[in-house]
Amino acid sequence: MNNILVLADGLVAEEFIQSLNSKRVADNVYTVVVPGEFKRPEKLQVPMEFIAIDPTSYSKLRQLFNRNEFSVVFILLDSLEETGESLKNIRRIDEKVRVVMLDRWNAFGKLKQASTIVVNANEMLSNHLYNFLPGVPVVARNVGLGEGEIMEVLVPFGSPFAYRHVGSIQQIKWRIAALYRNGKMILPNNATMIRPQDTLLLIGRPQVLNSLYYRIQRRSGMFPEPFGRNLYLYLDMDRDEELALDYLQQARHLLEKLEGRQLIVRIVNPGDFDVIEKLREQEGPRIDIQISYDPDTEYSVILTDMQQYDLGLIFLSTQSFENEKIYEEIYELKKLVYLFGDTSLEALKRAVILMGSVEEMEAISSTSFYVSETLGLELCLCHFDPEGEFDSAKQSVEHFENLSHIFNHPVTVEQSQVNPVRALLEMQSVLQIVPFTRRLHKRWRIPFLSSDVRDYLLDKVPHPKLLIPVEVG
């Protein structure tokens, strides 16, 4: 929820308040400081509190900031003196809060504050009129279809996009066309790193960009988003009957740590009805158990459930995941996958990531912090190399250390000249976090000739695994 403070006076402010009320932006709560004669909406459609106080009063503003943590402050006042005094007092109270200030007098053009955006009313009107001259390129809102295929998004601290290289972000049906940093435009390449407070210029399908906006803006507490909202437990009773109740208990453990989420349990090939009945007893307001009796729908039911329930994470046994048809179905869905292992989810103590390519490490980094936060796990980045070649990992280590400060969640780095498979097998109570690529399911005809640890993950390493979908070269 975002608390917005608006210091409002005059016709522009009245129009702005009417727009806020009619457009009903989700999750925004407004505190509006107004004079007594201010024209208010006849019927409030959004959470909006009007307070009649002096907007230049330091003590009154301090009381408001003590009561709420504001994410944005709008200064829309008719008086130059009141505008300047209000900004000065707000900065005395909070140096970092984002301030959007309307300048009607060309008086704040030289203002240099990182968190203050000055909207020059005269300049804006002039530029808009200039766009109507022959031979002059029109502004973005008049380009293309005008249906929202061009979008500007601010990258907040803690965003999944922060501290990632542009090349590590899968861009299908959309592109990062440019980014703005410190008042300058940058045309990015694959090596350009996105930083907090950058503004991204996105081009793509309007529906895709709308979804991207929430992915970029959201931080913690949203797991398993942005992959989807709810959890999914797939139980094939031909393979999972003996451990079905244990699998359900583990899935429930994660569900209880999340708010506003559902667990959908899909049972296929039902056999022992005593087990089915025990599973049924676990059904409740947040747990929905569905049984498929038609064997012909064993694989297609996963896709149907994904579309119907907005699922983000799939719980699976390794035996089911190794089935070629199920693997292909899930790989194309690009969802998080939790593979059960020899340690129950409740008993996990550490999340472990084996060092891979820079692109893979950046692609899985934010989700790794999210799941570690959610489950209360230590996060460990492991570079196990029998040859001791550790220099190649410096960029990935720096990336994870930066995110550690952003998320306020510690990460440890282990480097050792050991066989990675052997080192993994010696660990206990760990969740292994793995990039989910097509390579993961390939099999070598003589697997012991492979030097890639991923060729042994499913067969030789029994730890539970979280597979994070990535799309890298």
How far, in whole angstroms, is CA 473 from its chain's centroid?
23
Q: What is the pLDDT of residue 92?
A: 95
H or E element at residue 248 = helix 244-255
- Rounded Cα–Cα distance for residues 189 and 120 (Å): 32
The pLDDT of residue 471: 65
223 CB-contact burial (10 Å; exposed 0-12 / middle 13-18 / buried 19+)? buried
Strand, coil or helix: what is 2? strand
pLDDT, tens digit, 9 for 90 and up, residues 215-241: 777 654 567 876 788 999 999 999 999
Q: What contacts 318, CB < 8 A, 6 or more positions away? A: 339, 340, 341, 458
pTM: 0.59
**What sign for the dihedral angle of Cα 412, 414, 415, 421?**
negative
The C-alpha atoms of residue 298 and residue 359 are separated, in whole angstroms, by: 35
Q: What is the pLDDT of residues 41-59, one digit of tens each?
A: 989 999 999 999 999 999 9
Cis peptide, bond prior to residue 224, ω within 30 of zero: yes
Contact 96, 115 (CB under 8 A): yes
Mean pLDDT by 10 residues, the chain (473 residues): 93 94 84 89 92 94 94 95 96 93 91 87 84 55 64 78 78 88 91 87 80 68 75 93 94 91 92 89 92 78 86 92 85 90 94 88 84 92 80 82 76 87 88 84 47 61 89 57
Domains, the chain, with CATH or none? 2-130 (3.40.50.720), 140-217 (3.30.70.1450), 230-335 (3.40.50), 345-469 (3.40.50.620)
Angle between helices 244-255 and 273-280 (to 10 degrees): 10
Residues 372 and 351: beta-carbon distance below 8 Å: yes
What's CA 390's distance to the chain center, in Å?
30
